[in-house]
């Protein structure tokens, strides 16, 4: 991983995720074609990475369907050189083995790697909606009151050789400060090689509260216990733009997208992922920071290259 120049930042767009449901925004991409179109658009807007989950095309239910992952990845690769970061987070409640399949199947350059177990709660937002587009949505969200998003040390130890074998760089998702400790342990035990690529995920109920102090705390802790790392920040909800801006100011990178936040500004739904990408890039440029191209991001992160994926 090359040293990152402070004047370039990797912008990731997290397109759809597995948290927001179709009722919450008509702009959430659902079908393979919508996902493909959104990825091409975020690439044109300046994103270097697209973080990809897939959904059941008719209902929007989050799934880890390998055929859909492949369909989207193949078409995108024909049309642009964006880096695909496939999610191994999958649907809340889905078994871990199923979630890891996308790495062995597609051998992507980059994939999410959740750095520990957390309560991943969304039940508290159910009351904001009176009517639901699809039957599954309310039940899915309510079920999270009793949900643990599981990533035990055993799971993590079992996932890592798959990433290594496929040449896929893990993007370590850090939802709370203890997860930095988990990663430091795995580095120390020889399962993970430095330098590592971290995504600080703030604002999930069950994870760290999104605040300026907490982003500094996460960064400072990673500096002390890991040392050699690069980082990006993503934030669930309305603190997305302020804390992504802070991340850029701190010499880091930023992830935006409808997976994390449905709004462009207070009370205004983002009409596309590309709108959010364009906004963070406007802010970055005001700070003298340019978005890294996908090729520059590959060099910064030390990725294997698009010619070595299996799609
Ligand atoms: N959904 C985010 C809170 C993953 O996909 O594996 C974190 C995430 C993890 O993007
Ligand atoms: Zn995700």
> For residue 230, is pLDDT > 60?
yes
Confidence band of 6 (pLDDT split at 50, 70, 90): low
> For residue 261, is pLDDT > 90?
yes
Confidence band of 96 (pLDDT split at 50, 70, 90): confident
> For residue 308, is pLDDT > 70?
yes
The pLDDT value recorded for residue 4 is 52
Interval between CA 310 and ligand 1 midpoint (Å): 22
Average pLDDT, stretch 195-200?
Answer: 98
Confidence band of 99 (pLDDT split at 50, 70, 90): confident
The pLDDT value recorded for residue 280 is 98
Question: 3-class SS at 85?
Answer: strand
Here the tokens at position 20 are: 């927001």
Convert the pLDDT of each residue in 7-62 to its tens digit. 899 999 999 999 999 999 999 999 999 999 999 999 999 999 999 999 999 999 99
Proximal ligand: closest to the CA of 112: 1
The pLDDT value recorded for residue 91 is 80
Per the prediction, the chain carries an average pLDDT of: 96
Q: What residues does each domain of the chain span?
A: 8-308
The pLDDT value recorded for residue 1 is 59
> For residue 92, is pLDDT > 80?
no
Cβ of 88 below 6 Å from ligand 1: yes
Proximal ligand: closest to the CA of 113: 1
Average pLDDT, stretch 229-254?
Answer: 97
Interval between CA 126 and ligand 2 midpoint (Å): 20
Average pLDDT, stretch 159-184?
Answer: 97
Phi-psi region of 267 (alpha: psi -120 to 50; beta: other; left: phi over 0): left
> Has this prediction a pTM greater than 0.85?
yes
The architecture (CATH level 2) of 8-308 comes to Alpha-Beta Barrel (3.20)
Cβ contact 8:291 at 8 Å: yes
> For residue 311, is pLDDT > 90?
yes
Proximal ligand: closest to the CA of 92: 1
Cβ of 114 below 6 Å from ligand 1: yes
The pLDDT value recorded for residue 95 is 80
Cβ of 168 below 6 Å from ligand 1: no
Interval between CA 120 and ligand 1 midpoint (Å): 11
For a pLDDT cut of 70, what percent of the chain falls above it?
Answer: 98
Of 86, 139, 94, whose CA–CA distance to 113 is shortest?
A: 86
The helix (H) or strand (E) run that includes residue 280 is helix 273-286
Q: Which residues of 41-77 are buried (b: 16+ CB within 10 A; e: fewer)?
A: bbbebbbbbbbbbbbbbebbbbbbbeebbbbbbebbe
């Amino acid at each position: 991983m090359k040293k990152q120049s402070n004047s370039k930042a990797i912008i990731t767009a997290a397109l759809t995720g597995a948290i927001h449901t179709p009722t919450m925004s008509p702009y959430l991409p659902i079908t393979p074609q919508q996902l493909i179109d959104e990825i091409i658009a975020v690439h044109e807007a300046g994103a270097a990475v697209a973080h990809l989950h897939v959904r059941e095309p008719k209902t929007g239910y989050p799934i880890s369907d390998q055929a859909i992952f492949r369909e989207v990845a193949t078409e995108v690769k024909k049309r642009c050189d964006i880096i695909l970061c496939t999610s191994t987070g999958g649907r809340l409640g889905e078994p871990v083995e199923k979630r890891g399949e996308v790495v062995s199947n597609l051998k992507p350059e980059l994939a999410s790697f959740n750095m520990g177990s957390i309560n991943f709660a969304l039940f508290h937002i159910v009351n904001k909606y009176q009517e639901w587009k699809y039957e599954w949505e309310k039940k899915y969200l309510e079920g999270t009151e009793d949900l643990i998003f599981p990533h035990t040390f055993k799971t993590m130890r079992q996932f890592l050789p798959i990433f290594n074998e496929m040449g896929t760089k893990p993007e370590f998702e850090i939802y709370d400060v203890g997860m930095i400790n988990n990663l430091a342990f795995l580095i120390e035990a020889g399962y993970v090689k430095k330098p590592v690529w971290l995504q600080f995920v703030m604002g999930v109920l069950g994870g760290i509260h999104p605040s300026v102090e907490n982003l500094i705390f996460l960064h400072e802790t990673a500096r002390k216990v890991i040392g050699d790392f690069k980082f990006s920040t993503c934030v669930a909800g309305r603190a997305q733009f302020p804390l992504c801006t802070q991340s850029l100011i701190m010499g880091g990178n930023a992830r935006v997208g409808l997976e994390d936040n449905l709004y462009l500004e207070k009370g205004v739904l983002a009409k596309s992922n590309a709108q959010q990408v364009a906004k963070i890039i406007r802010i970055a440029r005001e700070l003298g920071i340019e978005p890294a191209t996908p090729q520059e991001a590959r060099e910064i992160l030390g990725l294997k290259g698009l010619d070595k994926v299996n799609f």
